[in-house]
Amino acid sequence: MRRRDFLFSGGALAGLAAFGLPLGLPAPARGQSGVAVRFPFQMSEAAWRSRLSPEAFAVLRQQATERPYTSPLNEEKRDGVFHCAGCSNALYSSEAKYDSRTGWPSFWAPIDEDAVGTKVDRVLLYSRTEVHCARCGGHLGHIFDDGPEPTGKRHCINGVALAFRPESVSG
């Protein structure tokens, strides 16, 4: 490699880092203090790979995004609870699900404020709010401010990150 090419590539990497573009694996979730968060449910990468489908592993553990309109959960209309596909943590009630016409299951609120966590995601050239499972840290999707009342929020969730269990949502 020529010296000029080497210097240019280093400058390009520094520029990408300055704009918040990913240079490798996603950064770990961090609390408000900036310290990496340790989640109550943890497994080795090998254990996660054996527990999850390749698609679920890519989304939950590597922050991938499934293609829109590919999840059967997008059309799920029964009463029940949507759980984390990684650790079975209850995340969203069918009562908060709505059709956002985006191609991903969408909810206006989690089942409980402690069920999910958030962090700033700067993977694109702008900031977004990433939402993850509060129990295992698995990436679920993003939260946007264009949802319905009563919250005005849209939790846009990858269906492959969820496991639906039909059940009574009120008890």
pLDDT digits (tens, 9 = 90+) for 35-71: 456 898 999 999 999 999 999 999 999 999 999 999 9
Task: Decide: pTM greater than 0.85.
Answer: no
156 tagged catalytic: yes
Q: Which of 84, 87, 136, 156 is catalytic?
A: 156
Q: Name the nearest CA neighbour of 75 among 52, 101, 96.
A: 101
pLDDT at 32 over 80: no
Class of domain 39-166: mainly beta
CA 124-127-132 angle, 5° bins: 90
Average pLDDT, the chain: 83
| Contact between residue 96 and residue 108 where contact means Cβ atoms under 8 Å apart | yes
Mean pLDDT of 148-157: 97
**pLDDT at residue 152 in the model:** 97
**Residue predicted with more confidence, 31 or 122:** 122
Compute the distance between CA of residue 170 and CA of residue 113 in angstroms, rounded to an integer. 17
